[in-house]
Amino acid sequence: MHVLLTGGTGYIGRHLVRVLLERGDSCTVVSRNPRSPGSDDRVRLVQADPTGPGPWQTEVEHATAIVNLAGARLVDPPHRWTAARKRVIRDSRIETTRRLSEAIQQANDPPRVFVSGSAVGYYGSRGDEPLTETAPPGNDFLATLCIDWERAARAAEQRTRIVAIRTGLVLGKNSPLLHSMLPAFKLGLGGPWGDGTQWWPWVHIDDVTGLICHALDGEAPGPLNVTAPQPVRVAAFAAALGKAIGRPAVARVPGFVLRMALGEVADALLVSQRVVPQRALAIGYAFRYPDLTSALGNVFGN
């Protein structure tokens, strides 16, 4: 399989490239970053801005599959969501996806599958409600972003199979999420934020790449929750992270403090999303790290 990737130089993208090469695939990565995610000659870098049209779109003709992971980081570093920042967040996702869909629609030989990024933000904040792929969307900024993101991908559904991967909070060695949290936890200043009861839908990077590969190889279209089967509450997440690094995790950060410091960005940390990977479980996908203890044990070598 020859896979065309956007966002291939990011955290998930670099891991996915390695996994694809290990299983015998080749990759073309479209990125503004001039640094290739791999030194293997089966990885080709096309330096371009995928939010705009250009010659890079012809790469679709040579691809068996497309994986679209492009998107500016939401909360790392913790920029406030000004109007300008929101535009960057939206355009980096939606415009890239739109350009890929345009290229697929115009291709003489379209790829077999288009796996396009989305996020658990699709569901909004839903308390204790279990959220499978059939749950309706929320109506906040992130939910609206995900709705439009997925709609841009579905524009190509007459030419190829579309899978929208609604990804949770990614854990792994040097993951951006843990990188932003660890300094406070290592100082003994970590702990729950908000009231600690909100659900956090996490997933290990190895299961992210595993589920993306399953989406590439499968036959079913539609959304796919890329989350572990055992979501946890924030208080439990903080306690498990503290235990994994041998530090206390009792310094609670009230929600109003986060909102004062980060503005609307705090909403992304305070939402409650009990996301369940129903489709992955239904097809018998075997999670490598189904529970938080085993996932953090892998990350920290415990």
pLDDT higher than threshold 80 for residue 130: yes
- Give the CB-side neighbour count of residue 130, counting CA atoms within 13 A: 6
Cβ contacts of 254 within 8 Å, gap of 6 or more = 193, 194
pLDDT in tens, 185-230: 898 888 998 899 999 999 999 999 999 999 999 999 999 999 999 9
In whole angstroms, give the CA distance from residue 5 to residue 114.
Answer: 10
- Structural element, H or E, at residue 44: strand 43-47
Is residue 165 classed as helix, strand or coil in its secondary structure? strand
- Please name each of the domains of the chain with its CATH number: 2-169+202-228 (3.40.50.720)
Is residue 172 classed as helix, strand or coil in its secondary structure? coil
pLDDT in tens, 241-294: 999 999 988 888 888 787 777 787 778 888 999 999 999 999 889 999 999 999
pTM here is: 0.94
pLDDT in tens, 91-110: 999 999 999 999 999 999 99
